Amino acid sequence: MINAKRMQHTDEIIAANKKGIAIRAFIILVAICLLVLIFSQSIPEIGINDNTYGNSQQIGEQRLNAKRQLADLSKSAAQDNVYVRIGGKPIGISVNAGGLIVLGLSEVDTESGAVSPALDAGIKTGDVLYSVNGEQVTSIFRLKMISDEFNGNEMELAVLRDGNLFTVRLVPAIDRATGQKKLGLMLKEDVGGVGTLTFVTQDGRFGALGHFITDGESGLDYELTYGNIYRTEIDGVIKGESGKAGGLIADVNRLSSPVGIIARNTDIGLFGEYTADYDAELYRIATKGEAKPGAAKVYTTVDGSEPKFYDIDIVKVISQSEPAEKGMVIAVRDKELLEKTGGIVQGMSGSPIIQNGILVGAVTHVFIQDPTRGYAVHSRFMYDYAVNSAAAYREAA
């Protein structure tokens, strides 16, 4: 009897354990199902946030999101064994804001005295005049024609400011001396200069300059998005000296055919589509950690249009996980280059830096107090931006 009772008690314990195991298994199964459901719903949302550019029709929204979009480009690190065609050639640069850039306001001397229609309408320096009476304007000459031909009481101007597009209305003033209709605006069409091409990828993307283009006259920066690059030649050099940056002298013919279309103006350079034929030696893009302190060469043009190699030292390498224009400190050691330029001068920005046969970076800045020294950006970041500028190029085109 005792054995029978013990067996019966043991059977009850086993049955209870089985029941407990079954309940726990059921709870675990329900939890797994819930996790799968939640995860499957979250995957598409993550994909949209990380990989899709905005297609908003609002110009202001596109401008405001530009820097955030560019920050995401650094997430795709340059792959091993990526080769590009080396730059080193000088380029003329023209970037625009999609309209006419307001440099300042002026008064118009009329029969009734001095007036400023633009000032009265609330327009400010740094605004971008996007359209007049519904017509987009990128030419000062065209704006003058519209003003001269307009016979209505008011003109409607669409103005871009700090990423926001708004409209104002004004009546042109008639200049007493010339009889011309004037708005009281000082304008320019684009921002230009000279820089250096860093590389062209084998599928036609380019990287250049190594730093952001801003406009000191108007204060514009991220609004300067699209534009062109042109072939040019270096006519002379203003030698750098302590306390005063030198510069390359070149004429940029903006009526000539451009060789590339700028799709992005970023903290680490200009990127877009190289539209002309380009043939130069292939160099591998350095991966993280390959750039080291020590001897290197800069490939740049300080006379005519053909670049040359000059000796430099990489003094310091700053390990970076995010793109930044100051990734290395460099020092010019080449006697010929020092004699011609005094070191690093304006216009050399974007000049590729080669170390051990690898493209490791590009010149970005000069130390004002010591023009023999300056900063450089890591080439792998520029490559990532160039590759990812394809979508932006399609928007610009």
Question: Which of the residues 120, 311, 334, 370 is marked catalytic?
Answer: 334
User: What is residue 253's three-state secondary structure?
Assistant: coil
Q: Catalytic residue, from 74, 211, 267, 379: name it.
A: 211
- Asked if 272 and 225 count as a contact pair (C-beta separation under 8 A), the reply is no
CA end-to-end span of the chain: 95
DSSP state of 293: S
Residue 265 makes CB contacts below 8 A (sequence gap 6+) with 95, 212, 213, 222, 224, 225, 227
Residue 211 appears among annotated catalytic residues: yes
According to DSSP, the residues that pair with 234 across neighbouring strands are 250, 304
Question: CB burial class (10 A; 0-12, 13-18, 19+) of residue 163?
Answer: middle
DSSP 216: T
Active site residue 50: no
Q: Which amino acid is at 178?
A: T
Type of residue at 177: A
Q: What does 109-174 look like in DSSP terms, one character per residue?
A: EETTEEE-HHHHHT--TT-EEEEETTEE---HHHHHHHHHH--SS-EEEEEEETTEEEEEEE-PEE
Active-site choice (94, 116, 218, 349): 349
**107 burial level (CB within 10 Å; 0-12, 13-18, 19+):** middle
As a residue count, the chain comes to: 397
- Residue 116 known to be catalytic: no
- Give residues with Cβ within 8 angstroms of 34, minimum separation 6: none
Question: Annotated active-site positions, please?
Answer: 211, 334, 349
